Amino acid sequence: MTMPRSLAETAIRPRPDFSQLLRVLRRDGVPDHVPSYELFANQEVMEAVLGRKLPERADTIEFYYRSGYDYVPCWPKLQMKVGDLVDQRSDYPITDRRTFEDYVWPAPASISFAEFESVGPRLPDGMMMVGQTGGIFETAQELMGYTGLCMALADDRQLVAAIFERLGELYVAMYEGMASFEKVGALVISDDLGFKTQTLVSPADLREFVLPWHKKMAARIHAHGKPCILHSCGQLRAILEDLIEDVKIDAKHSYEDGILPVTEAKREFGGRVAILGGFDLDRLCRSDEDEIRAHTRRLVEVCGAGGGYALGSGNSIAGFVPLPNYFTMLDEGWKLR
């Protein structure tokens, strides 16, 4: 057997049924099969798989359909002046109280849901949308820089509170808007809060400034009768109880073997929230075909036992993931249905 080089060489025969993923997210017994879940696949991956440019979100429907997913991820649009989370040399628009007062904040009414309006009417039968956007904590860093935010937490906590208050107004409006679409089946709070050994700021600071807004977003999601997925990288053990008991997430995504293997996560708290993905990206990139198939079977058998699990990578399908490796994971997961 050789690794599949295209979707056509896999066992995938699309028959989307979002109700199976919904059963996972709600931990509603054992679904008919373990469905697939990814936060997203990068644009370059989708275009390489389909062999053509995908200029609009609606054009990505074909990728998610042919890859065997039951949904298409969609994002709202909000224009804000921000800096760069990666390139710390960039200028950040808010550095102190004066620049905060001078900053021009967008109005909630300026939020665009054009992707949802475009994708929804074109979804194949059985497919839904999953709404998501970059996180409120991440956006605070884009406004101040990580170092700037940490300095403000020490020097001017009232400024930090004011920034999160302004951001929170926008985020609650975004989640209310996304959740109101009939064909949105679930929503993701996507906010990286940690790194390999701990949270990016203290758990106490997250509880004061960030998690109350996550709770409000989750409340808007639940008010529309839809499940709330948390995607967050990093070691979150210090705030896990807050996320489950106070924020009330329904599912947790993003796992790394070097932080918390997904099989351990399923054993520890899989009875309280759904567990999504977890095929460590480093393992997925470096393994040969036999190893990928064996690990896929292990995830389905161990994490899928009793329901509440969807198969996928530990994070997302980035451009550095070898496509045959990705196809092999999908292929083996489909054969186990």
- Give the Cα separation of 197 and 268 in Å (integer): 18
- SS3 string of 31-85? CCCCCECCCCECHHHHHHHHCCCCCCHHHHHHHHHHCCCCEEEECCECCCCCCCC
In this prediction, residue 252 carries a pLDDT of 98
Nearest to 299 by CA among 249, 247, 262: 262
In this prediction, residue 88 carries a pLDDT of 76
Report in angstroms the alpha-carbon separations of 234 from 6, 289, 315: 32, 28, 11
Within a 13 Å sphere around the CA of 9, how many CA atoms are in the beta-carbon half?
14
One digit per residue, the tens of pLDDT, for the chain of length 337 reads 689 999 999 999 999 999 999 999 999 999 999 999 999 999 999 999 999 999 999 999 999 999 999 999 999 999 999 999 888 777 999 999 999 999 999 999 999 999 999 999 999 999 999 999 999 999 999 999 999 999 999 999 999 999 999 999 999 999 999 999 999 999 999 999 999 999 999 999 999 999 999 999 999 999 999 999 999 999 999 999 999 999 999 999 999 999 999 999 999 999 999 999 999 999 999 999 999 999 999 999 999 999 999 999 999 999 999 999 999 999 999 999 9
In this prediction, residue 285 carries a pLDDT of 98
In this prediction, residue 86 carries a pLDDT of 85
Q: Hey, what domains does the chain have and what are their CATH numbers? A: 7-335 (3.20.20.210)
- Give the Cα separation of 71 and 310 in Å (integer): 13
Cβ atoms < 10 Å from Cβ of 57: 17
Q: 89: burial class by Cβ within 10 Å (0-12, 13-18, 19+)? A: exposed
- Give the Cα separation of 117 and 29 in Å (integer): 32
